[in-house]
A and B are shown apart, each in its own frame.
Chain A
Amino acid sequence: MRSPIGKKVVDIKPSGIRKFFDIVLETEGAISLGVGEPDFDTPWHIRDEGIYSLEKGRTFYTSNSGLKELRTEVSEYIKRSQGVSYDPIKEVFITVGGSEAIDLALRAMVDPGDEVLIPQPSYVSYEPCAILADAVPVIIELKEENQFRLTAEEILEKVTDKTKILVLPFPNNPTGAIMEKSDLEQIAKVVLEKDLYVISDEIYGELTYSGKHVSIVSVPGMKERTILINGFSKAYAMTGWRLGYACGPEEIMAQMVKIHQFAIMCAPTTSQYAAVEALRNGDEDVRKMREQYNHRRRYLLSEFERIGLPCFEPFGAFYVFPCIRKFGMSSDEFCTRLLKEEKLAVVPGTAFGDCGEGYIRISYAYSLENLKAAMERFERFISRL
């Protein structure tokens, strides 16, 4: 009997986080600092709008690109946060989470053999999505000495004639690194010079703790060659609603919507109505959650400092990414032992690319009490090493 499975899919490695969490599930009394989603419930007024839309019978498909109302709100949000205008009809469309937008952007833009620059450590989807689109992923290894920011030199080292796309994953999961305006301007120069396109994944944009998040689309000349991806999961604690969006040049959006209409049809209707409320009246919720994340972030940094494991200060997302190299163990071994001996789950840095070796990702999407209990275990563990 011939194999029922296609070769391209088999060759894709499963996510490294998955394997690890199967063990966590079996460990009784484990504390986890592994989850990559907000611990807050979606603010009630947003949920209420979702419920209200159901009561009113808004249970049909929306247009393929999403509710016009929502696209208008998205466009206005980017206008007020980045000072950049997008046409809500032609340049904005609503996806099933930011992750669908990543997949679509790659599929719409590459031909077989095109190279896609992917800075790592980063979110695990870019590489497999590039492979599924028959592109060639080319990894750029981000360095702690640069605060895990991407530099123009690093791009130039990896650019070839075949390079078409640069993925820009900032604020970054897992490192918490951000890119400031001046950093982005340097990147923009290379992008223009080498005629690249940018996929900017800004899902953690609202969770920036030093000033306001800056998008590369606000750099002159970049809006024309950037797909800006964002969503509601992280900022509004709406992970389960599965809602994101992409903004970019009409020409590219049209092709992305084409794939989207055949594969997905449209994003969930209830979620779209709720998201309209989020963008209209959710700023204060976001501010409050960001404030709490920031308290926890500072707390964790000070704890790591105290126990002698200083780590670089992350200014975005909700992760810290300490280096554990001095214990002479691989990330995998460190995390496995930490889980076995202290029943504390964190994610090995290698789940986010080979260059994550020597690091661990700790999520602070947990209550302060939870973080305190976890740090006690962590301290006990490293004091034995």
Chain B
Amino acid sequence: MSTREELLNLIEKNSRIGVHDLSVMLGADELLVANELKALEEQGVICGYHTMIDWSKTSIEKVNALIEVKVTPQRGLGFDSIAERIYKYPEVTSVYLMSGGFDLMVILEGKTLQEVAGFVSNKLSTLDTVLSTATHFILKKYKDHGTILTKQYEDTREIVSP
């Protein structure tokens, strides 16, 4: 396993590990790790250091929806320009081009059901190239970004000898 891949695996799980600890854990020189991180940021491999928040455990209301969107690709531009028109809305958190029964998967975050519904009917559906949409509201997140949200890790190992 290359150090680069190992480094990325490590910080993908925990972006708060400092350069010193990273270098220790990887058995690599500290300066080397710092340079590698910088290079990865510059190359856009590392796109940010975000915090995963389970908003449902706070008093702040958030509504998430997945929207399947069928569109007409545009000559010479394919799906890219329509995707761009959609992803520029700040309430859109993700846009993926999909294989299968529809073209774009749009993930949306809003404060209320009405807000999300309003976005779909006023902004998304009215775009010329959009043929149809199907909105699915997320009711509960069990696991997100590889992290199980419904339960905390608990060390249940009993004491045993030897």
Contacts and interface: CB of A to CB of B under 8 A. Distances in A.
A35 B161 contact: no
Contact of A124 (B1, B157, B162): B162
B5 to A, nearest CB: 10
Nearest to B22: A295
Q: Which of A123, A302, A351 has the most C-beta atoms of chain B within 10 angstroms of its own C-beta?
A: A302
Interface in B132-162: 153, 155, 157, 159-162
Contacts of B27: 298
Interface size class of B (residues with CB under 8 A): 10 to 19
Given A17-B162, A124-B162, A39 B10 contact: no
Contacts of A24: 159
Contact of A298 (B1, B24, B157, B160): B24
A79 interface: no
A299 B21 contact: yes
The secondary-structure label for the interface of chain A is helix
B41 interface: no
A17 B21 CA distance: 31
A373 to B, nearest CB: 13
B25 interface: yes
Interface string B2-36: 00001001100010010001001111000000000
Interface in A4-46: 15, 17-18, 21, 24-25, 35-37, 39
A160 interface: no
Contacts of A123: 162
A17 B155 CA distance: 19
Contacts of B162: 15, 17, 36, 123-125, 351
Nearest to A173: B162
Interface string A104-132: 00000000000000000001110000000
A208 B125 CA distance: 57
Nearest to A365: B157
A39 B26 CA distance: 20
A195 interface: no
Nearest to B25: A295
Given A39-B155, A291-B1, A298 B25 contact: yes
12 contacts: A17-B162, A21-B159, A25-B159, A35-B157, A35-B159, A123-B162, A287-B1, A298-B24, A298-B26, A299-B24, A351-B162, A368-B14
